[in-house]
Amino acid sequence: MDIRPALTTFSEDEIAFRDAVRSFAEGEIKPLRLHMDEKAQMDPSLLPKLFEMGLMGIETPESLGGSNTSFTMACIAVEEISRVDGSVGVLVDVQNTLVTNALLKHCTEAQKQKFLPKMAREWVASYCLSESSSGSDAFALKLKAEDKGDTFVLNGHKLWITNAFEANLFLVFANLNPEQGYKGITAFVVERGMPGFTVGKKEDKLGIRASSTCELIFENCVVPKENVIGQIGKGYKIAIETLNEGRIGIGAQMIGIAAGAYEATLEYIKGREQFGKSLSTFQGVQFQLAEMRIDLEAARLLVYNAARLKDEGKDFVEEAAIAKYYSSKAAERITSLAIDLFGGNGFTKEYPVEKFWRDAKVGQIYEGTSNMQLQTIAKLELGK
């Protein structure tokens, strides 16, 4: 059996990029973290700074206003931002690993010229697949598209849509021929302000609270034909392909959250004294810290192995599922243990670890639940 080794080293360019993003996250995001979490809203002052840093079009060609780097670079950015705040991390993740990725692969040249420069410089994007009856069963979606000649008309709802409050561009999946099942699904770009399109209520969530998660309402929403992405009836292929890639990005978010919790815990136990000794001198504490470090390192290796395979054009679907499954489980374990080691302080909002724990939970839910990752892994293994 071909067991691919994990690639653990970063190039000089990747290290410089990582350090720049870390400095940005510490300086610009960290001071706003608590306020954004309490208000359940992204601070609008952050968005222009994310664009200025080149973090919203990481793989987009320079000719279209982007940074023209790699998928691995996108994962580095998501990890480093999530190390400070998972809410901002997922905003950057959806922008890059889902929407930009899909448009780079499936847009015509004219569509790329129209949409990608705006996404690299000013437009937040949103990926719109889930509905009330369409979660893990993604292709049970009921949003209906009708061909009206020069336009399509969309009717229905989407739920749990990340970035919806801030977004100007929405990559929307709707069914043009429901009688054909998933083979009727088609992808559209819907722009904010199009007739019949409304962003609805924002969900009040346990974690990643500053990340907007909203309902979308389509009431005779008119979409021009030139906003169809890819082929009519082939939207399901775009969705599957993009989610496979996006799962690596969520893995990067999870290791960032876990790293933030681990580093906070390491600093805390060195300075906290009990029974006249530093907590770091107790063997039981040392062992728990070691377990956290092992979990974090294993998750990071899995995530970047999958990212490297993707960049190299190799098959990565199973590796992506493994990375997302393990990293989301590891993040929950690490953040929970961080609260334990902080003791009563960890249960208060004065310290950051309770937020890391709340933010970690969603990793086992969105972009494919843990059970769906297990199903993918099992099917691929049984098919060998």
- Give tens-digit pLDDT for 108-143: 999 999 999 999 999 999 999 999 989 888 888 999
Quick one: what percent of the chain has pLDDT higher than 90? 95
Q: What confidence category does residue 340 fall into, taking pLDDT thresholds of 50, 70 and 90?
A: very high
Tell me the mean pLDDT in the region 16-28.
97
Catalytic residue among 245, 350, 367, 381: 367
Give the pLDDT score at 9.
76
What is the rounded distance in angstroms from the CA atom of residue 73 to the CA atom of residue 79? Answer: 10
- Give tens-digit pLDDT for 180-213: 999 999 999 999 999 999 999 999 999 999 999 9
Give CATH for domain 12-123. Answer: 1.10.540.10
Contact 249, 82 (CB under 8 A): no
Tell me the mean pLDDT in the region 68-75.
97
Domain 127-233 has CATH 2.40.110.10: yes
Give the pLDDT score at 139.
84
Identical fold between 127-233 and 236-382: no
What is the rounded distance in angstroms from the CA atom of residue 141 to the CA atom of residue 309? Answer: 31
Q: Residue 223 pLDDT > 90, yes or no?
A: yes
Can you say whether the dihedral through the CA atoms of 327, 331, 332, 334 is positive or negative? positive
367 is known as an active-site residue: yes
Tell me the mean pLDDT in the region 334-347.
98
Give the pLDDT score at 135.
85
Give the pLDDT score at 138.
81
Joined tokens for residue 37:
């979490």
- Give tens-digit pLDDT for 261-299: 999 999 999 999 899 999 999 999 999 999 999 999 999
SS (H, E, C) 48-92: HHHHHCCCCCCCCCHHHCCCCCCHHHHHHHHHHHHCCCHHHHHHH
What is the rounded distance in angstroms from the CA atom of residue 253 to the CA atom of residue 363? Answer: 8
Q: Residue 7 pLDDT > 90, yes or no?
A: no
Give the pLDDT score at 6.
42
Give the pLDDT score at 384.
85
Joined tokens for residue 203:
């969900």
Give the pLDDT score at 133.
87
Cα angle 88, 334, 307 (rounded to 5 degrees) comes to: 55
Please report, for the chain, the start and end positions of each structural domain, with discontinuous segments joined by +: 12-123, 127-233, 236-382
> Which fold, 236-382?
Butyryl-CoA Dehydrogenase, subunit A; domain 3 (1.20.140)
273: β partners? 278
How many CA atoms lie less than 13 Å away from 107 in the CB half-sphere? 20
